[in-house]
Amino acid sequence: MRCRDDEKQQNIKRAVIKLILAEGFHGLSISKIAKEAGVSPATVYVYYENKEAMLYDIYRECGEQIYAYVLGRIDCTSGGERFVESMVQAYYTYIVEYGEEFYFVEQFTSCPALVGKCSGLEGNARIIRLFDELKRKRIIKDLNNQIIAAILFNPVKSIAVKYRQNPDARTVLAELIPVIQEALLAD
């Protein structure tokens, strides 16, 4: 018998991510996905149980990828300032390099109807543990984790979005880093 082709599933995943950026969750359809992925609509159902499960699955993959990317590039051993800087840089680089995945996760996350049916990401728990550790070591202030995450990620995100493919972005980022450092790091 023919064997499950991992490349086909990758094509489908890529098609979904690409189309979501171009047309949003509304405007996404199985037949568009199939056409973009170069397979038959029925083939999609070989790899995913249904559309909803497919989106959850891809969301999970992309969501975890973000955390893995950032966590893999953080420098936690050279003090708080370096920690913030490396985190911001990593997150910004991720958004620039993986824009499509990023926007997929963004749209999915900001839709309560979608994210509400989905359990939290594993990567998020890892970040929280990291924050707790850094607080214990008195590297960052003893703040609510939600606040830390919000200050650390959201401004970078909004700059990355606004300055998409604008060379000034790095300058703005350089301006942002000390602000975050001042806000989060213990004296």
Interface with its own copies (CB under 8 A): 1, 21-28, 42, 103, 106-107, 109-114, 141, 143-144, 146-147, 149-151, 154-155, 157-159, 162-163, 172, 175-176, 179-180, 182-184
Long-range contacts of 160-164 (CB under 8 A, 24+ apart): 160/91, 160/92, 160/95, 160/96, 161/95, 164/99
Question: Residue 124 touches which of its own copies, DNA, none (CB < 5 to 8 A by kind)?
Answer: none
CB of 67 to its own copies, least distance (A): 16
| Residue owning tokens 């950032």 | 70
Evaluated on CA atoms 135, 139, 143, 149, the torsion sign reads: negative
Q: Choose between 79 and 178: whose C-beta lies nearer to its own copies.
A: 178
Asked if residues 156 and 176 have their Cβ atoms less than 8 Å apart, the reply is yes
CB of 9 to DNA, least distance (A): 8
Asked if residues 180 and 155 have their Cβ atoms less than 8 Å apart, the reply is yes
Backbone angles phi, psi at 185, to 5 degrees: -80, 145
- Alpha carbon dihedral 78, 135, 110, 66, in 10-degree steps, equals 30
CB of 23 to DNA, least distance (A): 9
Q: Choose between 31 and 154: whose C-beta lies nearer to DNA.
A: 31
Q: Helix 80-97 and helix 145-162: axis angle, to 10°?
A: 40
Question: Residue 25 touches which of its own copies, DNA, none (CB < 5 to 8 A by kind)?
Answer: its own copies
Question: Residue 166 touches which of DNA, its own copies, none (CB < 5 to 8 A by kind)?
Answer: none
**# residues near DNA by CB under 7 A:** 24
Question: Residue 21 touches which of DNA, its own copies, none (CB < 5 to 8 A by kind)?
Answer: its own copies
Question: Residue 46 touches which of its own copies, DNA, none (CB < 5 to 8 A by kind)?
Answer: DNA
Backbone angles phi, psi at 94, to 5 degrees: -60, -50
The footprint of DNA (CB under 7 A) covers 1-6, 8, 28-32, 39-47, 50-52
